[in-house]
Amino acid sequence: MKVCPRKIRKDFKDLQLRQPKRHLFSVPLITYKNALISFPTFVEKDQVNYLRAAITTMSQPHFLLVASPAQGHINPTLQFAKHLIRIGARVTFITCISARSRMTKVPTAQGLTFLPFSDGYDYGFQLRDDIDHYLSELRRRGKEAISEFLTSSENEGKPVTCIVYSPFNHWATEVARKHHIPTALLWIQPATVFDIYYFYFNGYESTIKAQADETNPKRSIKLPGLPLLATRDLPSFVTALNVYRWGPLLIQEQMDILADESNPKILVNTFDALEQEALNAIENFNMIGIGPLIPSSFLNSSDSLDNSLRTDLFQPDSKDYLQWLDSKPKSAVVYVSFGSITVLTKQQVEEIARALISSRRPFLW
């Protein structure tokens, strides 16, 4: 997405997230005089009225980030917030009270504000709860919370200039349209996973189902613009192994909403050198690699914001296992983790356990 402002005041700067050889994300700070010139691809025609009211009072861009109440959504979104804050943007981070109350450490940074809202499940969703009711309440209450915040922010002279939402929060786009605010999807998984979902719901469902043979995990599947895939490469939501009925339904809703947009923006947790083919596999979607959305300290780099902009929703008693880990040689321990919603069969658990024992290596599962 290229933005080429003709005349920008000297006391303003472009806000950009860049990778080598690729312009990733740019929201220039401009006067209204140049607004229609400088936002040709980022802002649609029906958002001009919003710009007319907002740009004249805008001292810095204001991003509203909408994240699901899950650690795998919150931490990548916080890393994206870190990049926005570094280039001078104001960020409001909205998620459910259930997630905010479980954070072992509340992320803090100048320019970052947390906005927790109640989804009706303030102690968290439990497996015994009705998933349909939960998703309905999350959508209804989330839309109300965002709408109220957008109105109050505009009245305070700090209007939200863009809404960025993580997967399963596409209901935020309905509110954004009513307030004439541009949106972008923050896809926290690889671009290839997004492409597989897209093709599954756009003409390739029967092909994927026919090839997705769980008895032959190496069976090949060919999708447009992607390298040859095997059955084992497919996300479980599109295979017979899926146990979450709501998963494919929410993803299909997301794809339908993106298809209705004239120029959808999708920010992906990847980078060009890793998934160049996948980022360009869908012609009518603008997929932009902005990853990896992990703390830079993981890449042997120091960053003052890293320690403050990450959190943990779980509170394990780490003393015992840290002491055990410290007693082992470096790089000697096998670590096994399948995330917080993965369902393994008894056979799979037993097979993994046998493999770990057979490896004769210390392991942490």
Residues classed as catalytic: 73
User: Measuring CA to CA, which residue among 229, 203, 209, 205 is closest to residue 218?
Assistant: 229
User: Measuring CA to CA, which residue among 197, 167, 163 is closest to residue 182?
Assistant: 163
Is residue 92 within 8 Å of residue 62, measured between CB atoms? yes
Question: Cis bond leading into 69, ω under 30°?
Answer: no
Dihedral of the CA atoms 116, 122, 125, 129 (nearest 10)?
Answer: -140
Residue 207: both structure tokens together: 């092909």
For residue 16, give the H/E element and its range.
strand 16-19
CA separation (Å) from 240 to 70, 208, 308, 365? 25, 11, 41, 26
CA–CA–CA angle 307, 108, 291 (5° rounding)? 60
Is residue 22 within 8 Å of residue 272, measured between CB atoms? yes
CA separation (Å) from 28 to 13, 37, 56, 164? 7, 11, 13, 17
Is residue 141 within 8 Å of residue 118, measured between CB atoms? yes
3-state secondary structure of 58: coil
* Count of H-run helices and E-run strands, the chain: 12, 13
Residue 270: both structure tokens together: 């990847």
